[in-house]
Amino acid sequence: MEKKETFAEVFEARGVKRRDFLKFCSLMSVYLGLAPTMVPRIVSAMEKKPRIPVIWLHGLECTCCSESFIRSSHPIVADIVLNMISLDYDDTLSAAAGFQLEEIRKKIMKEYKGKFILAVEGNVPLKDNGVYCTINGESFLDVLKETAADAMAVIAWGSCASFGCVQSARPNPTGATPVHKIIKNKPVVNVPGCPPIAEVMTGVITHFLTFGKLPDLDRLKRPKTFYGVRIHDKCERRPYFDAGMFVESFDDDGARKGWCLYKMGCKGPTTYNACSSIKWNEGVSFPIGSGHPCLGCSEPDFWDNGPFYTRRADVSFVGVNSNADKIGVVAVGAAAAGMAAHAIGTAIKKGTSESKTVETEED
Amino acid sequence: MARIIEEQYVWRLPVRIYHWINALSIAVLFVTGIYMAFPIISPPVGEAVWYHRMAWVRYIHFGTAFIFIANFLFRLYWALFGNDRYGRFGGFKPWLPAWWGQPFKEQLASYLFLKKEEPDYCGHNPVAALTHFLFVFLGSWFMILTGLAMYGENNPGGFLDTMFGWVVLLFGSSLTMHTMHHLVAWVFPVYLILHLYAVVRHDIVNRSSITSSIITGYKNRVEECAEYAD
């Protein structure tokens, strides 16, 4: 078993200057919300600790998480970011293929038993014994369970692995199930987003390397550091929301002036992610910054909470085109009609009973 | 024509105060809540920092919500421990099969025109008690729990999030919880229609001056007055 290189060694071999390396470390400390005094600890971990071996499995997914990950912007050279981790198995990126690649997975599982990270992109179809996703003749369910058994921790990349995403949207024909509902006996961290922000992905791994454990997680097993703030509460368009200045259609004056996208169906008020702080593509922009409402891609069931471009969502158990107000108005109408009918009934009842009384008096 | 036999003091002052604070706060909460989901007033002219239109509507909604909650908790205390014959939970025991017995069946049959007699209760009749339990009691709990969970969402790890954040998990996602909070809000206008109709109807049928009783506290006893409470 050869000794794993450290991050610093890899960076050096790739010709990254020490200055850039230190910049990367300080940036990571900022993203992770650590005090400046923690930077030396990150540097030291990067220099001394061997890189963590990572097995990266792909289930039912579209590979957008990988696409996002290989575009991490810091340090600038993209292939170095890929070397952040010792990515020993990734069936999308590896040169090896077929049995050769599966051999590598088995080898890592044996050599680094209990010491490697299992990164999972995509989720697991459970219906019909998992036939809807097979790798090398094995169902993805079996591959995942087998690999997770020897892993130190599991990182669920993206909304698919974390919450199910589009595959598990109603009616979920393949029984797509997120990772944390299958792997119960290992620490699982969810890094949702469709895809997650590259810096969030590198940040989670940096935290793991520096402190040797997963970051603090919230109720949905997301790292608090990156998923602790609502998009809405850090949104640059928030003053327009508070003032009541809303975009009414994508080609109106308000849209041109950059007003709030709340009425265009923005899910910022219910979405936890780092988009409004870290942003995308080297901090260039994020959906709301570019004039598009947030779709809430990092929230559970976001495909079922449509439509995307209306604030008032469909009420899932009633069906499409059924927002709360439509149902409410019908219910109020029905109550009013019912009471009116009852009032007529009461009048008739009173009339008949009174006429009866009159009759008896006559008798 | 029924004859007023006596005036009965039914709704004590705490109950009447609760009723009107509750009615007003629900009205304010409903109107501001619907507006928050669908802000229709056209935007103000000028810089955004000069205006707080949406912020004010939300502020009123949240402020009223806390009045509503305090009032609800007070009523809960009064219902459990208050020295009040008609304002207590007292006889309301729907988990006992006996509670669904004769008085409930007779009242329901009367409402459904299956029975000629119109029972006249001093306090709530069993069907009314059940309706209040479903709409006002459960409806309020639902709105309070989901509301506080939403209110805590801006500060994960804070007091409200720690106390009520688990509610979000029951709905799967925050947006679903928002949608359900919005949907269940409509329970109150539906209830209002049933409530106002039933009150006016009883006033006409039983001539018990039930409408004014929530202001004066007194109901008129006309002829025989069946007892339901305890």
The band of B170, judged by pLDDT with boundaries at 50, 70 and 90, is very high
- Closest residue of A to B158, CA-based? A228
Q: What is the pLDDT of residue B122?
A: 82
- CA–CA dist B37, A150 (Å, integer): 48
pLDDT for res A103: 87
**Does B158 have pLDDT greater than 60?**
yes
pLDDT at position A199 over 90 = no
Contact A232, A299 (CB under 8 A): no
Residue A147: CB partners within 8 Å, gap ≥ 6? A55, A57, A105, A109, A118
Q: Over the stretch B83-107, which tens digit does the pLDDT of each residue have? A: 888 888 877 888 888 888 888 888 8
pLDDT-based confidence at residue A360 (cuts at 50, 70, 90):
very low
Question: What is the average per-residue pLDDT within A355-363?
Answer: 46
A341: pLDDT strictly greater than 90: yes
Cβ-Cβ pairs closer than 8 A, A with B, add up to: 137
Please give the pLDDT value at position B192. 96
Instruction: Give CA–CA dist B188/B28, Å, rounded.
Output: 12
Nearest to A55 by CA among A12, A135, A116: A116
Please indicate whether, in this complex, the C-beta atoms of A301 and B197 are within 8 angstroms of each other: no
- Mean pLDDT (chain B) is 89
Write out the two tokens for A80. 């170095």
Distance from CA of B229 to the nearest CA of A (A): 26
Please give the residue that has the higher pLDDT: either B142 or A279. Answer: B142
Q: Is some CB atom of chain A closer than 8 A to the CB atom of B40? A: no
Please tell me the predicted confidence (pLDDT) of residue B3. Answer: 66
CA distance B220 to chain A (A): 20
For the domain bounded by A7-226, which CATH number is listed? 3.40.50.700
Give the 3-state secondary structure of chain A: CCCCCEHHHHHHHCCCCHHHHHHHHHHHHHHCCCCHHHHHHHHHHHHHCECCEEEEEECECCCHHHHHHCCCCCCCCHHHHHCCCEEEEECCCCCCCHHHHHHHHHHHHHHCCCCCEEEEECEEECHHHHCCCEECCEEHHHHHHHHHHHCCEEEEEHHHHHHCHHHHCCCCCCCEECHHHCCCCCCEEEECCCCCCHHHHHHHHHHHHHHCCCCCECCCCCEHHHHCCECHHHCCCHHHHHHCCECCCCCCHHHHHCCECHHHCCCHHHCECCHHHHCECCCCECHHHHCCCCCCCCCCCCCCCCCCCCCCCECCCCCCCCEHHHHHHHHHHHHHHHHHHHHHHHHHHHHHHHHHHHHHHHC
- Partner B, chain A 334-363, Cβ-Cβ below 8 Å: 335-336, 339, 342-343, 345-346, 349-350, 353
Give the model's pLDDT for residue B226. 53
Q: Is the pLDDT of residue B13 over 80?
A: yes
What tokens appear for B34 in the block?
A: 């619907």
Contact A267 B175 (CB under 8 A): yes
Give contacts of A 216-275 with B, CB under 8 A. 218-220, 224, 228-230, 233, 239-246, 254, 259, 262-263, 267, 269-272
Least confident span in A317-326, B156-165, B219-228: B219-228
Specify the range with the lowest mean pLDDT, choosing from A216-220, A242-246, A303-307, B2-6.
B2-6
* Amino acid A102: pLDDT: 86
A266 pLDDT exceeds 90? yes
| A chain contacts of residue B179, beta-carbon cutoff 8 Å | 305, 312-313, 315, 323-324
**B190 vs A: CB within 8 A:** yes
Q: What per-residue confidence (pLDDT) applies to A355?
A: 57
Rg (CA), chain B: 21
Residue B11 near residue B87 (C-beta atoms within 8 A) = yes
> Is 60 exceeded by the pLDDT of residue A248?
yes
Q: What integer is the mean pLDDT of A213-218?
A: 89
In a mutational test of the B interface, the residue from A234, A259, A266, A342 whose CB has the highest number of chain B CBs within 10 Å is A342
User: What's the confidence (pLDDT) of residue A1?
Assistant: 45
pLDDT top residue among A39 and B66 = B66
User: How far apart are alpha carbons A188 and A152 in whole angstroms?
Assistant: 10
H-type alpha helices, chain B = 13-37, 53-81, 102-111, 126-131, 139-151, 159-164, 166-171, 174-185, 187-206, 210-216
Q: Higher confidence at residue B87 or residue A328?
A: A328
Q: Token pair 């810096």 is at which residue?
A: A199
Nearest Cα neighbor of A51 from A91, A83, A93 is A83
Q: Nearest Cα to A292, choosing from A304, A278, A280?
A: A280
Which pLDDT does position A251 carry in this prediction? Answer: 93
What's the CA dihedral at B140, B141, B147, B148 to 10 degrees? 130
Q: Is the peptide bond before B126 cis (omega within 30 degrees of 0)?
A: no
- How many CB atoms sit inside 10 A of residue B213's CB? 21
Q: A-chain residues within 8 Å CB-CB of B116?
A: 349, 353
Residue of A51, A48, A47, A60 whose CA lies nearest to A18: A47
> Would you state the pLDDT for residue B35?
95
Mean pLDDT of B172-188: 94
Identify the bridge partners of residue A123 per DSSP, sorted by sequence position. Answer: A60
Query: pLDDT tens digits, residue range B16-68?
Result: 999 999 999 999 999 999 999 999 888 888 888 899 999 999 999 999 999 99
d(CA A341, CA A316): 31
Of A72-86, B78-92, B103-117, the poorest mean pLDDT is in: A72-86
Fold exhibited by the domain B4-222: Fumarate Reductase Cytochrome B subunit (1.20.950)
* Residue spans per domain, chain B: 4-222
Hey, what are A41's tokens?
């600890």
Report chain B residues whose CB lies below 8 A from the CB of A269. Answer: 178
ipTM of the complex in this document? 0.87
d(CA B118, CA B71): 33
Rounded mean pLDDT of chain A? 85
Pairwise CA distance, residues A286 & A274, whole Å? 10
Residues in chain A: 363
| Inter-residue contact A223 to A208 (CB < 8 Å) | no
Comparing alpha-carbon positions, the chain A residue that sits nearest to B197 is A339
Residue B223: what pLDDT? 63
Report CA-CA distances (Å) from B41 to A21, A195, A248, B38.
53, 36, 12, 9
Arithmetic mean of pLDDT, B100-124: 85
User: A79 pLDDT band (50/70/90 cuts)?
Assistant: low
Write out chain B residues lying below 8 Å of A246, CB-based: 39, 43
Domain parsing of chain A, residue ranges: 7-226
